[in-house]
Structure 1
Amino acid sequence: MVATTASASVEAEPTPLGGRIAELHEIRARALAGPGAKATGAQHAKGKLTARERIGLLLDEGSFSEVEQLRRHRATGFGLEDKKPYTDGVITGWGTVEGRTVFVYAHDFRIFGGALGEAHATKIHKIMDMALAAGAPLVSLNDGAGARIQEGVSALAGYGGIFRRNTKASGVIPQISVMLGPCAGGAAYSPALTDFVFMVRDTSQMFITGPDVVKAVTGEEISQNGLGGADVHAQTSGVAHFAYDDEETCLAEVRYLLSMLPQNNRESAPRVRCDDPADRRGETLLDLVPVDGSRPYDMAEVIGEIVDDGDYLEVHERWARNIVCALARLDGQVVGIVANQPRSLAGVLDIGASEKAARFVQMCDAFNIPLVTLLDVPGFLPGVGQEHGGIIRHGAKLLYAYCNATVPRISLILRKAYGGAYIVMDSQSIGADLTYAWPTNEIAVMGAEGAANVIFRRRIAEAEDPEAVRAHLVKEYRAELMHPYYAAERGLVDDVIDPAGTREVLIRSLAMLRTKHADLPSRKHGNPPQ
Structure 2
Amino acid sequence: MQEEITMDQLLEDLEKRRERARLMGGQEKIDRHHQSGFYTARERIEKLLDPGSFLEIGGLSHSEFPGAEQKSAGDGIICGLGKIDGRPVVVEAIDKTVFAGTEGSVHIKKSEALHDYALKRGFPIFNLGEGGGLRMPDGMGSDGISDKLFPQNLLTIGRKVPMISSILGDSYGGPTWLAVSSDFVTQVKGSCMAVAGPRMLEMATGEKITPEELGGWKVHAETTGQTDHVSDSEENAIEAMKAFFRYMPLNADQEPPKKETKDDPNRRLEEAIDFVPTRRTRAYDMKKLISMIVDDGDFFELKPLFGRSLITALAHLNGQVVGVIANQPMMFAGSSGPEECDKATDFICLCDSFHIPLVFLHDIPGFRVSSAAEKKKVPSKIMQWNQALARATVPKLSVVIRKSIGAAYGNMCGPTMGADSVVAWPSAEINFTGPEVGVNVVYGRKLMEADDPKQAREELLKTWGFDSSPYKAAGKFMIDDVIDPRDTRKYLCQMLEYACVNNGSKSKRLLANWPTSF
TM-score range, shorter chain: over 0.9
> Does residue 466 of structure 1 match 2:469?
no
Distance 1:191 1:520 in 2: 26
Q: Is the 8 A contact 1:377 1:421 kept in 2?
A: yes
Quote the residue 1:248 is aligned against: 235
Counterparts in 2 of 1:415 and 1:201: CA distance versus 1, 3 Å: same
Deviation track 1:39-61 (CA, whole Å, cap 9, x = no partner) reads 11111111110000000001111
Greater Rg by CA: 1
Deviation (angstroms), 1:217: 7.4
Quote the residue 2:180 is aligned against: 192
Distance 2:351 2:252 in 1: 10
Amino acid in the other structure paired with 2:47? L
Unaligned runs of 5+ in 2: none
Moved more, 14-23 or 415-424: 14-23
Distance 1:176 1:521 in 2: 19
1:374 to 342, 350, 361: 361
Unaligned runs of 5+ in 1: 1-12
Amino acid in the other structure paired with 2:149? G
Deviation track 1:120-163 (CA, whole Å, cap 9, x = no partner) reads 0000000000001111110111111111001125664565344x
Deviation track 1:404-442 (CA, whole Å, cap 9, x = no partner) reads 100010011000100001111111211111111111001
Deviation (angstroms), 1:520: 6.5
Distance 1:48 1:109 in 2: 10
Quote the residue 2:341 is aligned against: 354
Quote the residue 2:429 is aligned against: 442
> Does residue 169 of structure 1 match 2:154?
no
> Does residue 420 of structure 1 match 2:412?
no
Quote the residue 1:160 is aligned against: 149
Deviation track 1:66-104 (CA, whole Å, cap 9, x = no partner) reads 00111122223xxx4465533111000010000101111
Distance 2:198 2:517 in 1: 32
Matches for 1:377-456 after TM superposition, within 5 Å: 377-456=364-443
Quote the residue 2:495 is aligned against: 509
Q: Is the 8 A contact 2:385 2:411 kept in 1?
A: yes
1:342 aligns to what SS in structure 2? Answer: coil
2:153 aligns to what SS in structure 1? Answer: helix
State the number of aligned residues: 512
Distance 1:379 1:155 in 2: 52
2:324 aligns to what SS in structure 1? Answer: strand
Deviation track 1:191-222 (CA, whole Å, cap 9, x = no partner) reads 111111111111x2112343345557777643
Distance 2:514 2:245 in 1: 28
Moved more, 31-40 or 341-350: 31-40
Quote the residue 1:45 is aligned against: 35
Identity across matched positions, percent: 35
1:71 to 49, 58, 61: 61
Deviation (angstroms), 1:223: 1.6
Quote the residue 2:479 is aligned against: 493
2:131 aligns to what SS in structure 1? Answer: coil
Counterparts in 2 of 1:281 and 1:373: CA distance versus 1, 3 Å: same
Amino acid in the other structure paired with 1:201? K
Counterparts in 2 of 1:14 and 1:258: CA distance versus 1, 3 Å: farther
Matches for 1:82-481 after TM superposition, within 5 Å: 83-153=70-140, 156=145, 160-162=149-151, 164-185=152-173, 187-202=175-190, 204-212=191-199, 221-479=208-466, 481=467
2:399 aligns to what SS in structure 1? Answer: strand
Counterparts in 2 of 1:303 and 1:159: CA distance versus 1, 3 Å: farther
Moved more, 500-509 or 226-235: 226-235
Q: Is the 8 A contact 2:349 2:514 kept in 1?
A: no
Moved more, 487-496 or 411-420: 487-496
Higher relative contact order (CA 8 A, sep 6+): 2
Distance 1:478 1:523 in 2: 38
Deviation (angstroms), 1:492: 2.2
2:31 aligns to what SS in structure 1? Answer: helix
Normalising by the residue count of structure 2, what TM-score does the alignment of the two structures yield?
0.93
